[in-house]
Structure 1
Amino acid sequence: MAAFTAARWVNISRHTGPKVVIVAQPIVLGKAITTEQIKTVNWPGADIPQGAVSKATEVVGRIARVSMIPGEPVLPGKLAPKGATGGLASIISDGKRAITVKVNEVIAVAGFALPGSFVDILVSGKDANRQPFSRTVLSRVKVLAVAQETTAEPDKPKVVNAVTLELTPHESEKLDLARSIGALSLVLRNELDTWEVNSAGVRLSDLMYSQSTRATSSSTAAHASASRQYRGPEEIRGTSRHSVATP
């Protein structure tokens, strides 16, 4: 990916077209963008990325909402509002909230739930009948930070005791209630997967009596029933049983 974007950057710089600001050095989300991290080039052709920034002065000093790699055009949606001072608050999307929940090495996907990744959130506990259950309460939730870090090193998973998630106000209420009734688990998902999870959850009975177990039980019951079918009159002498022919 890095080689591809670098080659594209070289290709772009050879053309004479509209001015577009692109990334020259890696940019980390939550940090202010410096002059050295960007470059103005001539974009080839008329197919300019929608909203592309044309002046470096519109970018320098702004806080990055996402991490960016060299060769990538700088778009307004990737920047925090002017005047933002950095930190976690500056990378929260409009209308969203940030909430931190406690996790451990196991339920944080063994350290692979990194900033920028997406997860489903499960709650496990006991229902009104005191029966164990597990259910997905939120799907495709963005991870803003792990521990107190908002940057990610994909090849270096980190064991943490807390993650900060980006949610709508209503989702925040659901999560707050969920963690009050049971333990939370994070399920890592592909960032391109937008499928909304709609599950009724599972209970202990679903684990103890799976479909195959039920089928086996039904088969055994049917066999026992068949073995008890009437087969005509019998004569019993001691422990012996013999069929008796009828005229």
Structure 2
Amino acid sequence: MRNSRSLVIIGVALFLGLAAVLVAAKWMGEQGAAGSRVAVAAVDIGQGSRLAPASVQLVDWPAGSVPPGAITDPKLLAERVTRADIARGEPVLESKLAPPGTTGGLSAVVAAGKRAMTVRVNDVVGVAGFALPGNYVDILVNLQGTTSDAGTQQQSISKIVLERILVLAVAQESNRDDTKPRVVNAVTLELAPDQVEKLDLARSIGSLSLVLRNQVDPQPANTDGATRESVLGLPPAKAAPAPVRAQAAPRPAAPAPAPVRRPEGVLVIRGLDAAPQATH
């Protein structure tokens, strides 16, 4: 009795195990059949490069993990330009491609509504070469104290005028290589139109410096700027009073003419002649 019961239990277990294997095999077969072919980079593709047929290949991708914006039709990649670096084996996403019809070069990297502007830098202004493409910087302007024609004294000040500005390129290269710093003489920045105007004025009235910032820190600085008094801990300088212009002295009024006094006397009439005669 016990042996027959054990055989039944073993048989049921074998049946359930075989059924589980068949169900798992069927599920895996369905998942493989429902997979998609996704375009991935066959080689490392740099920013602003035009895609070539040899640089992209289609590979099988599980249907449940296809990234949003993945390209499944190779025809959609013809003559497209990349907006960001794409590593080998990485899916080619629509977000990393410039709009169709865009020509290659730096213009394909500039976002819609933005402008690219180049400023001259040196090894100090350029954060010792650590301001690389893809980094974010703040722009600092230093204004020296001047005296206006009216005699008003304008104090020296150092102030952050633009924040979280994307570096598009350094010198003539836009490749994002973070392995080592590069000391260059020019940096190209991505700016909004109003920021372009502010930066153009700032570099004409003072000296510029770049301040490297954390890429994931969106908080604004909200500073009042640094002056000579704030750095040295001195009280704020009082504005020099405007010079008072000397007023012309008023001209004295002309004296009124003295009234003409007629001599007092008696009028004597003799015939047809009349002559006054003084009295004592």
Same fold, judged at TM 0.5 (above): yes
Alignment correspondent of 2:49: 31
Q: Equivalences for 1:125-164 in 2 at 5 Å?
A: 125-126=143-144, 129-164=153-188
Q: In the aligned structure 2, how far is the partner of 1:37 from the partner of 1:82?
A: 18
Aligned with residue 80 of structure 1, among 94, 98, 101:
98
Kindly provide the CA deviation profile for residues 19-68 of structure 1, in whole angstroms up to 9, marking residues without a partner as x. 22222321100111222322222222424322221122222431111111
For 1:46, what is the secondary structure of its paired residue?
helix
- Match for 2:83 among 65, 71, 91? 65
Aligned length: 198
- For residues 52 and 170 of structure 1, the distance between their equivalents in structure 2, rounded to whole angstroms, comes to 35
Give the letter aligned to residue 145 of structure 1: A
CA RMSD of superposed structures (Å): 2.1
Quote how far apart the aligned CAs of 1:196 are: 2.5
- The answer on whether the counterparts of 2:49 and 2:81 sit within 8 Å (CA) in structure 1 is yes
Relative to structure 1, is the Cα distance of residues 15 and 144 closer, same or farther in structure 2, using a 3 angstrom cutoff? farther
1:70 shift after superposition:
2.3
- Runs in 1 of length 4+ with deviation above 6 angstroms? none
The one-character-per-residue Cα deviations of 1:118-152 (angstroms, maximum 9, x if unpaired) are: 11111111356342211111111111111111113
Pick the aligned partner of 2:123 from 95, 98, 105. 105
Which has the higher Rg, Structure 1 or Structure 2?
2
- Indicate the residue corresponding to 2:208 in structure 1: 184
Residue aligned with 2:50, SS: coil
Which stretches in structure 2 are left out of the alignment for 5+ residues?
A: 1-30, 147-152, 236-280
Q: Which residue of 2 aligns with 1:240?
A: none
Residue 174 of structure 1: aligned partner: 198
Q: CA contact under 8 A between 2:85 and 2:176: conserved in structure 1?
A: no
1:195 deviates by 2.0
Aligned residues with identical type, % of pairs: 47
> What CA distance in whole angstroms lies between the structure 1 residues aligned with 2:69 and 2:36?
13
**Partners of 2:121 and 2:184 within 8 A in 1:** yes
Conserved? CA contact 2:132–2:170, under 8 Å: yes
Would the alpha carbon gap of residues 82 and 137 (structure 1) be closer, same or farther in structure 2, given more than 3 Å must change?
same
Once residues 177 and 58 of structure 1 are traced to their aligned partners in structure 2, the CA distance between those partners, rounded to angstroms, is 43
Q: Which runs of 5+ in 1 are unaligned?
A: 1-13, 212-247
Query: What TM-score do the two structures reach when normalised by structure 2?
Result: 0.65
- CA–CA distance in structure 1, aligned partners of residues 136 and 92 of structure 2: 23
1:153, CA displacement in angstroms?
Answer: 2.5
Task: Report the AA paired with residue 155 of structure 1.
Answer: T
Give 1:94's match in structure 2, choosing from 95, 112, 115.
112
